[in-house]
Amino acid sequence: MQKILAAGLLGLIALASPLLAEEALTAAETAAITASVNQLMTDLIRNGEALNADKMFAPLSDEPNAVFFTGGRPYSRPALVSAMTQTYAGMKRMSVTITHSQVKVLGRDTAIWLGWGVGKTVDKKSATSEEVLTETWIWQRLGRHWEVVHYHETISALPDAAVKDKVAAALTRFAAELQHVAPTADTAAAKLDAFLRRSPEVLGATFAFAPERGTKAVAHVYRHNGRFERVTAPAGTDYTAQEWYAKADPAGTSTWSAPYRDAAGAFVVTCSLRVLEAGGGKPIGVVTADLAL
């Protein structure tokens, strides 16, 4: 494996070495290259959604030393097309939603596309799955066309329905506890500690006070190197505008976020639950639970 990786990386360096130094480009040139690469990636992704491996990977370099990574394994172009053709044969349909992307233009003939998003598949038995995809594509212009000299895709499965249901149920029980003994600014972190201790699958948890109760504060506790770390939002933070708070169901039903990167850079999904006074009264705050991907 080490020999394969070394050969692939040496091949990548050989292909890209003339282009590694950034060139001084005008804003118009940079914008034009960015638009071209974005369109190439749009076409490539659409061919993937059509389950057509030949068209999707047509832009890949056929240089013998070119290497492409997906699912933690290196492939040559022919091997990748063959493997993905077999994978697509077991699918009924697939969709890819790119949440964030950017193009880094290195020169007139080289650009890197970086992106991440969510892939959803339905297999021939109608079973569904969702994954977070993080991708790097290196594009090189040869003459009048562009080709991919390297790409690296990391695939992380989203939590399945059973795990989500378990966490949502635990969060609902926690919210019920908070209905009877509402947290204060001094006790919120300790209550989150206790919740994490009995919920080992949860990476971190947050409690944010409903400002209409006269307190505007938020506490967050997360696991780090075998212990719990506590974070308090800076004074004046408008957490009520953030998705995990603003989109919590007013009726007190749990809601799940789309995948995103947290403040530490980890990919997570968050379950949010609005805590109401017993009997469905006034809001006490919002409590959340994060699952790592």
C-alpha separations of 9 from 3, 13, 80, 115, 133 in Å: 10, 6, 17, 21, 22
- The span from the CA of 24 to the CA of 84, in Å, is 38
Average pLDDT, the chain: 88
Place of tokens 């933070």: 237
Structure-token pair, residue 25: 């480009």
Domain range summary for the chain, segments of one domain joined by +: 2-157, 161-292
- What are 90-146's pLDDT values in tens digits? 999 999 999 999 999 999 999 999 999 999 999 999 998 889 999 999 999 999 899
- The span from the CA of 131 to the CA of 98, in Å, is 12
C-alpha separations of 75 from 105, 157, 166 in Å: 25, 21, 38
- The span from the CA of 111 to the CA of 104, in Å, is 6
Provide, for the chain, the percentages of residues in helix, strand and coil under a 3-state DSSP scheme, each rounded to the nearest 5: 35, 40, 30
Structure confidence at residue 113 (pLDDT): 98
What is the CATH topology of the domain spanning 161-292? Beta-Lactamase (3.30.450)
Structure confidence at residue 278 (pLDDT): 79
Structure confidence at residue 70 (pLDDT): 94
Closest CA to 273 of 159, 170, 130: 170
- What are 25-55's pLDDT values in tens digits? 999 999 999 999 999 999 999 999 999 999 9
pLDDT grade, residue 10 (50/70/90)?
Answer: very low
- What are 155-176's pLDDT values in tens digits? 988 888 899 999 999 999 999 9
- The span from the CA of 269 to the CA of 273, in Å, is 14
The b/e string for 152-179 (b: 16+ C-beta within 10 A; e otherwise) is ebbeeebbeeeebeebbebbeebbeebb
Could you tell me if 171 and 250 are in contact, meaning their C-beta atoms sit under 8 angstroms apart?
A: no
Whole-model pTM?
A: 0.71
- The span from the CA of 11 to the CA of 241, in Å, is 48
- The span from the CA of 126 to the CA of 86, in Å, is 17
- Tell me: pLDDT of 21 over 60: no
- What are 197-243's pLDDT values in tens digits? 999 999 999 999 998 888 888 999 999 888 999 988 777 788 899 88
- The span from the CA of 177 to the CA of 288, in Å, is 14
What is the CATH topology of the domain spanning 2-157? Nuclear Transport Factor 2; Chain: A, (3.10.450)
Could you tell me if 193 and 161 are in contact, meaning their C-beta atoms sit under 8 angstroms apart?
A: no
- Tell me: pLDDT of 9 over 60: no
Rounded to the nearest 5 degrees, what angle is found at the Cα of 77, between the Cα atoms of 75 and 79?
A: 55
